[in-house]
């Protein structure tokens, strides 16, 4: 595991405050020159602008691996990502319980990078104070057909927001008084779940874990499910034939499915709208009376004319599309 050691070394380098030599000068300007100044603010919003320096990982890896295709020019070496934050304003989301997001020690931050984790936030804000918990809001759903959204380490949608709750109000105050300095994003930590190839391999493997294990989980689920079904059924039974306050009895079915089937052929009742569409048997005689014949003739003529007009219109359309140019 030679590579890991190297990486650790690298990590130490990252923590050193010195600026990485091949970063762009423009980037330095923003983060370096003005150090000591308070963070800029977006006027009239109260949001502070938090620039974070982001370096290309291929920059970092250049010394580590001799990439076969390293001849390709790596373009953006360093860039600045901008987050915006201010203290949490409980009015915005009045339903939030103030115990979950206490106003005096909660920071609201927006435009987070998609790969933000708690570790990243902690890395940026550890100078301000101890962070109690972080609530991410724009978690990318892994599967769009999830019945219930579940939270796990996931990617965030671009420009998403989070609430950061500090242990005490001092943390919030410190955060609001943060000064301009170089802050970097790329941190190495064993605890951060990997991105990229390793992550995908994990996902692939995760789906194919021990069948016995997942089998047991399924059994467990089905047991609970059936219990719940039974409960429901019982509750339904209980309500049956019980008069309510006004003395009415609500008539309910048991919800049992029709089982008029032998496995191949199923017998069910005809549905109302199907019946409606069934054609009545034609018992009438056609063109029996003279007026019927006249009607029919008139109808035929009208149809001819209609078709004529239709065709004319079609031609007009084709002509409009310049379809008659043979060459």
Partner 1 sequence: MMEYSMYQPPTNEEIQGLKETTDLYKSNLFKFQIDELLSEVSIDFSKTTSLENILHKLKEIFENINDQPDLSITDVKSMLLKKHGIIIPFPDPQPSDDVKYKFGFKKPTAFYLVGSYPLKSVVRSRNGFNVDVVVIMPKDIFQEKDYMNYRYFYKRAYYLAILSATLQDKGLALNVNVEFGALLGDRRCPIILLKPLENNSDALDFTIRILPCIPMDLFSTQRLSPSRNNIRPQHFQDLGQISQQQSVDSLPPTPQYNSAILSDMYCVSHLNLLYKNSKDCLAFNDACKLAKVWLHQRGIGGDEDGWSGFNGFVWKMLMCYLLHGGGVNGGKKLANGYSSYQLIKGTMDFLANHDFIRNPVFMNKLEESEEFSEKSFTENFDVVFVDNSGKLNLFCGMTKTALEQIQHEARIAMEYFNENKADRFEALFLQNVNDIKLRYDNVAKITQIPTSYCNYTKSEKLDYHDPFIHFARTVPIQLKQGLTNRVNLITINYPQLPTWSTSSEPPSYSFSNLKLYIGFIFNPEQSNRLIDYGPSPEDETAASEFRKLWGKKAEVRRFKDGSILECVVWNVKGIEERCLIVSRIVQYLINLHYGIKGKGIQYFTGQLNEIVIPSTNIPKSIYNKNGIANGFRDVMQAYDKLVKQFMALENIPLRFSGIRAASPALRYTSIFIPQPLTLTTTNISHYIDPIEIIIQFEHSARWPDDLVAIQKMKIAFYIRLASELELQFPGTCVTVAADNSDTIISEAYMDILSDSRFTFRCRIHNEREITLLDRGIKDKKSNQLKKDMYTKALEREKRMFVEIPMHTLQIQTLCNKWPSLSLTIRLTKRWFSTHLLSDHVDEEWIECLSSQVYLEPCPWNRPGSGFVGFLRVLKLITSWDWNNEAMIVDLSEENKSSLKNNTYENNEDIKLRFKNLRASGGSCKYGLMFIGTTSGSAWGIDKPCKVVANRIKDLARSALLYADELIEKRENSEFKRLFVTPLSDYDVIIHLDPSQCTRYYQNIFVDTQYLAHNKKNMSSLKIYNIEDDDVVMRDVKMQDHEENLKKEKMAAMIGFDPVEYYLDELRKLYSDVALFFHDKHGGTIIGVVWIPTNFTPRPWKASTEINSILVSKIENLKDQKGSEHDTNSSNLQDQNIVLNTKAVVLEIERLGEGFVTGIEVRK
Shortest distance (Å) from residue 97 CB to partner 1: 21
Count of residues interacting with partner 1 (CB under 8 A) = 106
What's the length of the chain? 327
The answer to whether residue 91 forms part of the interface with partner 1 (CB under 8 A) is no
The answer to whether residue 81 forms part of the interface with partner 1 (CB under 8 A) is yes
d(Cα 172, Cα 128) in Å, to the nearest integer?
Answer: 7
The answer to whether residue 64 forms part of the interface with partner 1 (CB under 8 A) is no
User: Binding string to partner 1 for residues 127 to 166, with x set by CB under 8 A, is what?
Assistant: -----------x-x-xxxxxxx-x----x-xxxxx-----
Interface pick for partner 1 out of 203, 231, 237, 287 (rule CB under 8 A): 203
Return the range that interacts with partner 1 (CB under 8 A); candidates 166-174, 237-245, 256-264, 272-280.
Answer: 256-264
Task: Burial-class residue 64 by CB neighbours within 10 Å (0-12, 13-18, 19+).
Answer: exposed
Window 95-114: residues binding partner 1 (CB under 8 A): 108, 110-111, 113-114
d(Cα 273, Cα 102) in Å, to the nearest integer?
Answer: 57
Return the range that interacts with partner 1 (CB under 8 A); candidates 94-102, 169-177, 236-244, 317-325.
Answer: 317-325
Token pair, residue 309, equals 């007009």
What is the DSSP-derived secondary structure letter of residue 19? P
Closest CB to partner 1 among residues 222, 250: 222
Shortest distance (Å) from residue 289 CB to partner 1: 19
Window 269-298: residues binding partner 1 (CB under 8 A): 298
Instruction: Quote the Cα angle for 102-139-53, to 5°.
Output: 85
Interface pick for partner 1 out of 15, 104, 179, 308 (rule CB under 8 A): 308
What is the DSSP-derived secondary structure letter of residue 38? B
Token pair, residue 31, equals 């983060």
* Cβ partners under 8 Å of residue 67, min gap 6: 58, 61
In the sheet with 131-136, reading across from the earlier edge strand, the strands are: 41-42, 47-55, 78-87, 106-112, 160-166, 131-136
The answer to whether residue 38 forms part of the interface with partner 1 (CB under 8 A) is no
Shortest distance (Å) from residue 60 CB to partner 1: 11
User: Binding string to partner 1 for residues 4 to 23, with x set by CB under 8 A, is what?
Assistant: --------------------
- Residue pair 87/47 in contact (Cβ under 8 Å)? The answer is no
The answer to whether residue 257 forms part of the interface with partner 1 (CB under 8 A) is yes
């Amino acid at each position: 595991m030679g590579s890991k050691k190297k990486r650790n070394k690298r990590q130490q380098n990252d923590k050193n405050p010195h600026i990485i030599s091949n970063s762009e000068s423009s980037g330095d300007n923003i983060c370096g020159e003005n150090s000591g100044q308070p963070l800029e603010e977006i006027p009239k919003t109260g949001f502070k602008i938090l620039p974070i320096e982001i370096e290309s990982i291929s920059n970092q890896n250049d010394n580590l691996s001799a990439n076969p295709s390293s001849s390709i020019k790596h373009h953006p070496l360093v860039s600045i990502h901008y987050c915006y934050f201010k203290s949490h304003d409980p009015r915005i989301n009045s339903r939030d319980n103030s115990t979950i997001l206490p106003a005096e020690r909660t920071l609201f931050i927006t435009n987070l990078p998609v790969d933000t984790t708690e570790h990243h936030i902690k890395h940026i804000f550890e100078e301000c104070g101890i962070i109690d918990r972080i609530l991410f809001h724009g978690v990318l759903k892994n599967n769009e057909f999830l019945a219930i959204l579940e939270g796990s380490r996931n990617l965030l949608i671009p420009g998403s927001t989070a609430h950061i709750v500090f242990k005490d109000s001092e943390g919030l105050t410190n955060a609001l008084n943060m000064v301009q300095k170089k802050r970097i994003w790329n941190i190495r930590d064993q605890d951060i779940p990997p991105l990229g190839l390793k992550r995908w391999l994990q996902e692939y493997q995760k789906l194919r874990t021990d069948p016995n294990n997942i089998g047991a989980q399924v059994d467990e689920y089905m047991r609970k499910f059936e219990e719940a079904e039974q409960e429901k059924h019982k509750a339904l039974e209980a309500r049956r034939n019980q008069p309510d306050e006004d003395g009415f009895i609500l008539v309910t079915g048991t919800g049992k499915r029709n089982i008029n089937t032998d496995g191949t052929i199923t017998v069910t009742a005809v549905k109302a709208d199907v019946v409606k569409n069934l054609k009545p048997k034609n018992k009438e005689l056609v063109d029996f009376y003279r007026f019927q014949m006249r009607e029919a003739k008139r109808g035929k003529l009208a149809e001819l004319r209609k078709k004529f007009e239709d065709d004319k219109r079609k031609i007009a359309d084709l002509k409009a599309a310049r379809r008659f140019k043979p060459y």
